């Protein structure tokens, strides 16, 4: 395994601004001083508690307790190991990564499978793209489909690297074999059918996509991680999915359908105040939006939208306009989407055309361009207006039975919201749209809550709801934690403290104690590496989290010496007082079984009294 030089890691942390790393995933706003704030990428929240201090190079979430530096951020958000995270950062910010001599550099064999599968997809996208542009029968047919049938431009194809898989698909296997990807990567990339026991060869790599138009799917960072393949006239008769209009990549080490939104990598930079996301049904709809200048369009991957996708989206913006086909399938998709979106804390509106006309977003934008967007926005519906209309199309003519059924269906959606205020507003709104008294809708709602409560009570205890952080042991105030905070913010005090604090006073059963003990050992031997370079001293995630959160904390005191003395006093008392009480008890009770004679107990007691009364001084300050 190649080992990255520690000096190189240090250099990386000095040169790369944490805010630049985090901003790829989290929209940050100023939060006083140099600090920045945003919605936490590690837990579901509606008000930002994720804090970034670019000066110190640390982030901390006050909601879920996650903390760390640039490297841990990349590790956790991109599921990379330490070396991969460092390499990824180096690549992104143009900082060369150096390796310890003799440990070798990254070679094909050392790249992890995930990275290799990403590289493979990059190469495959290029391969398909070249096939799309080629002056042969396949290229011509695909370009014809793109420009004549779908009426997209050649520039759009270039921009999104639209590709083509020819009817045999055999070229891809050969191209990937030439690139020397590992057998494991070829087997698991999802672009081939491979029998598990077959040795990989050009013959055993049977392409999954043949005779199809290839749309590369990128993750939120813009890396190609899958493909959607559209059926064409070239799709061969023996394609196992011949009749499927669209075929997607299967799940692979880099692709989970439910965690991906098409075009999010581009749309996330276009959203902002007054520019919400526009959710459309399919990838080609999103491409249509893009082509007319509506850059905020995204599409779920596959037919159904998942909570994972909504959480991902909400990192960037909380407002979404849904623009689904007005056919039955589109309406059903919208109603399935609504409760999830409310639960995720998104503000949703539904784009529609005035009147009752059927809308196909693709066709509408194709014919009318961006002007159509303004028009459908004008007649857009709120979430509850949309739901009320779906459940009760004409409230004026409805029977009270129909009204009541509609109210039941609508409150079942409202209950998904976790905000009391939102619920109250939505109930009032529902009453208006259903032509009912608010108190009637409220009663339906209360009834539902009671039913849900009874069901919940009948179930075994469930874990705390998402977003509610459990009590975190590392935030508990112990003398060890205070002294640790001190060592990290006033490094000069580390050495004197190490000479004044006996090791056996420290409680090693918690990360704070274990760390304090380890840090003081370093100070004592003059080996303290400095608070910016603690990687080698941290052994567990709990320790890393603890240190990052302490580095992030602002010490609320002026006189570090006083705090050190108080910490020492508390530890001393905690270490010695129980023994003193034990002795007192033994001496007071003549029948007690005593482990040693009264004389030595008396001696020990006076020694303990002496120690406990001794003024606390830090060794070096004496």
Binding site residues, Zn ion, CB under 5 A: 40, 42-43, 61, 63-64
| Helix axis angle, 400-414 to 328-343, nearest 10° | 50
Token readout for 203 is 């013959």
Question: Smallest distance, Å, CB 478 to Zn ion?
Answer: 23
The least CB distance from residue 476 to Zn ion, in Å, is 19
For residue 407 the two structure tokens come to 């109210």
Taking the complex as a whole, how short is the minimal distance between the CB of residue 18 and Zn ion, in angstroms?
16
C-beta closer to Zn ion: residue 43 or 389: 43
Q: Considering beta carbons, is residue 42 or 557 the nearer one to Zn ion?
A: 42
Nearer to Zn ion among residue 48 and residue 300 (C-beta): 48
d(Cα 161, Cα 159) in Å, to the nearest integer?
6
CB of 61 to Zn ion, least distance (A): 3
Q: Give the shortest CB-71-to-Zn ion separation in angstroms.
A: 18
Q: Report helix, strand or coil for 1.
A: coil
- Could you give the angle at the alpha carbon of 413 between the alpha carbons of 407 and 419, nearest 5°? 115
Burial of 535-554, coded b for 16+ CB within 10 Å and e otherwise, reads: bebbeeebbbbbbbbbbbbe
User: How many C-beta atoms lie closer than 10 Å to residue 565's C-beta?
Assistant: 18
Q: How far is the CB of 199 from Zn ion (least distance, A)?
A: 46
- 31 burial (CB, 10 Å; 0-12 / 13-18 / 19+) is middle
Nearer to Zn ion, 61 or 280 (CB): 61
Rounded distance between C-alpha atoms, residue 316 and residue 265, angstroms? 11
H/E element holding 453? helix 438-458
Which of 38, 63 has the CB closer to Zn ion?
63
| Beta strand spans in 379-453 (E) | 381-382
Phi, psi of 15 (to 5 degrees): -90, -25
Evaluated on CA atoms 401, 404, 406, 408, the torsion sign reads negative
Tell me how far apart the alpha carbons of residues 355 and 374 are, in angstroms, rounded to a whole number: 16
Considering the complex, state which of residue 42 and residue 99 has its C-beta at the smaller distance from Zn ion: 42
Question: Would you say 51 or 296 has its CB closer to Zn ion?
Answer: 51
Burial of 563 (0-12, 13-18, 19+ CB in 10 A): buried
- Residue 67: CB minimum distance to Zn ion, A: 10
> 296 vs 545, which CB is nearer to Zn ion?
545
**Dihedral angle sign, alpha carbons of residues 208, 214, 217, 221:** positive
Q: Which two tokens stand for residue 543?
A: 């320790």
Task: Report the 10 Å Cβ neighbour count for 273.
Answer: 7
Looking at the Cβ atoms of 61 and 514, the one nearer to Zn ion is 61
Closest approach of Cβ 43 to Zn ion, in Å?
4
Range 90-119 burial, b when 16+ CB lie within 10 A, else e: beeeebebebeeeeeebeeeebbbbbbbbb
Distance CA 249, CA 174 (A): 19
Structure tokens at 335: 């109603």
In the complex with Zn ion, which residue's Cβ is closer, 57 or 63? 63
Strands (E), 54-180: 58-61, 67-68, 163-165
CA 345 from chain centre, in angstroms, equals 16
Smallest distance, Zn ion to C-beta of residue 57, A = 18
CB of 542 to Zn ion, least distance (A): 16
Which of residues 2 and 467 has its CB atom nearest to Zn ion in the complex?
467
Smallest gap, in angstroms, from Cβ of residue 344 to Zn ion?
15
Shortest Å distance, C-beta 50 to Zn ion: 6
Burial of 72 (0-12, 13-18, 19+ CB in 10 A): buried
**Shortest distance in whole angstroms from residue 35 CB to Zn ion:** 16
Residue 502 CB partners (closer than 8 Å, separation 6+): 575
**For residues 66 and 212, which CB has a smaller minimum distance to Zn ion in the complex?**
66
* Residue 309 beta carbon to Zn ion: minimum distance, rounded to whole angstroms: 19
Total residues belonging to the chain: 622
Nearest to 92 by CA among 222, 199, 204: 222
Nearer to Zn ion, 26 or 512 (CB): 26
Q: Least distance in Å: CB of 552 to Zn ion? A: 13
The residue among 111 and 315 lying less far from Zn ion, judged by its C-beta, is: 315
Structure tokens, 589:
């009770």
In the complex with Zn ion, the residue whose CB is nearer, 48 or 57, is 48
**Rounded to 5 degrees, what angle do the CA atoms 124, 129, 133 make?**
150
């Amino acid at each position: 395994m190649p080992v990255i030089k520690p000096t190189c890691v240090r250099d990386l942390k000095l040169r790369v601004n944490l805010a630049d790393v985090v901003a790829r995933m989290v929209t940050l706003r100023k939060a006083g001083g140099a600090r920045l704030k945003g919605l936490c990428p590690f837990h579901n929240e509606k008000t930002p508690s994720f804090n970034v201090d670019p000066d110190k190079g640390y982030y901390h979430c006050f909601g879920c307790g996650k903390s760390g530096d640039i490297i841990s951020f990349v590790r956790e958000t991109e599921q990379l190991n330490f070396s991969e995270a460092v390499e990824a950062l180096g690549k992104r910010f143009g900082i060369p990564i150096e390796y310890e001599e003799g440990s070798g550099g990254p070679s094909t064999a050392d790249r992890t499978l995930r990275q290799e599968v990403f590289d493979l997809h990059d190469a495959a996208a290029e391969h398909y793209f070249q096939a799309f542009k080629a002056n042969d029968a396949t290229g011509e047919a695909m370009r014809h489909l793109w420009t004549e049938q779908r009426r997209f431009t050649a520039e759009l194809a270039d921009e999104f690297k639209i590709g083509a898989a020819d009817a045999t698909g055999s070229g891809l296997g050969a191209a990937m074999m030439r690139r020397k990807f590992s057998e494991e990567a070829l087997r698991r990339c999802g672009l081939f059918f491979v029998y598990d026991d077959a040795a990989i060869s050009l013959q055993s790599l049977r392409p999954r996509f043949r005779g199809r138009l290839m749309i590369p799917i990128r993750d939120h960072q813009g890396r190609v991680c899958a493909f959607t393949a559209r059926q064409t006239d070239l799709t061969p008769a023996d394609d196992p999915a011949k009749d499927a209009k669209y075929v997607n990549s299967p799940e692979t080490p880099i692709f989970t359908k439910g965690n991906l939104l098409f075009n999010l990598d581009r749309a996330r930079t276009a959203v902002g105040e007054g520019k919400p996301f526009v959710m459309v049904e399919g990838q080609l709809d999103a491409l249509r939006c893009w082509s007319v200048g509506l850059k905020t369009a995204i599409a779920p991957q596959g037919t159904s939208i998942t909570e994972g996708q909504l959480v991902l989206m909400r990192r960037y913006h909380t407002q979404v306009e849904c623009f689904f086909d007005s056919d039955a399938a589109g309406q059903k998709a919208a109603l399935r989407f609504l409760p999830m979106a409310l639960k995720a804390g998104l503000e949703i509106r539904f784009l529609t055309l005035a009147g009752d006309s059927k809308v196909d977003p693709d066709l509408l934008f194709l014919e009318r361009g961006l002007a159509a967007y303004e028009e459908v926005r004008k007649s857009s519906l709120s979430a509850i207006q949309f739901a009320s209309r779906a459940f009760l199309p004409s409230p004026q003519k409805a029977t009270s039975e129909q009204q009541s059924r509609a109210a039941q269906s609508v409150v079942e959606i409202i209950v998904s919201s976790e905000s009391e205020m939102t619920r109250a507003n939505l109930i009032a709104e529902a009453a208006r749209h259903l032509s009912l008294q608010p108190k009637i809708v409220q009663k339906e709602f209360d009834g539902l809550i009671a039913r849900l409560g009874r069901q919940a009570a009948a179930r075994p205890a469930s874990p705390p709801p998402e977003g509610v952080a459990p009590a975190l042991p590392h935030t508990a105030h112990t003398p060890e934690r205070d002294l640790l905070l001190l060592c990290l913010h006033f490094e000069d005090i580390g050495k004197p403290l190490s000479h004044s604090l006996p090791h056996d006073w420290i409680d090693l059963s918690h990360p704070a104690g274990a760390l304090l003990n380890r840090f003081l050992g370093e100070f004592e031997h003059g080996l303290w590496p400095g608070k910016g370079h603690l990687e080698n001293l941290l052994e567990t995630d709990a320790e890393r989290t603890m240190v990052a959160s302490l580095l992030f904390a602002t010490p609320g005191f002026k006189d570090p010496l006083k705090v050190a003395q108080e910490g020492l006093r508390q530890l001393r008392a905690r270490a010695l007082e129980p023994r003193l009480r034990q002795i007192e008890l033994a001496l007071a009770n003549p029948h007690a079984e005593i482990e040693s004679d009264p004389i030595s107990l008396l001696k020990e007691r006076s020694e303990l009294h002496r120690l406990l009364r001794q003024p606390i001084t830090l060794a070096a300050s004496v």
